[in-house]
Amino acid sequence: MAKDQKTESKAKEPKAIARQEPGFFQRIVNGIQRFFRETVGELKKVTWPTRREALNLTGIVLVVIFAVGLFLGFWDVVFAEMFGLIFSLF
């Protein structure tokens, strides 16, 4: 009887289901889904600046860009005139 019970319990156990590797397109879709899921998760962690902070920082960036533009423009004119004088002598 004990032998019959072992045989019956083995017969009742479900067979192992073979895992099938996902196909090429399924891997692509899974990768895209994972990318967007992780992106949304990271964006939830971001500490966004307030409107006032964003405007202040934008103003600072514009002032620095303008100042660097003037600085480089000044030296461009100086060197252009200097080389123009040098090449006009030859």
- Mean pLDDT value across the chain: 87
Is 1 a domain residue? no
**Within-domain flag for 9:** no
Q: Which two tokens stand for residue 80?
A: 């252009």
pLDDT at site 14: 62
Q: Which domain holds residue 56?
A: 24-89
3-state helix, strand, coil in the chain (%, to 5): 80, 0, 20
In a domain, 13, yes or no: no
Q: 3 falls in which pLDDT band (50, 70, 90)?
A: low
Q: How confident is the model at residue 22 (pLDDT cuts 50, 70, 90)?
A: confident
Residues 46-87: tens digit of each pLDDT: 999 999 999 999 999 999 999 999 999 999 999 999 999 998
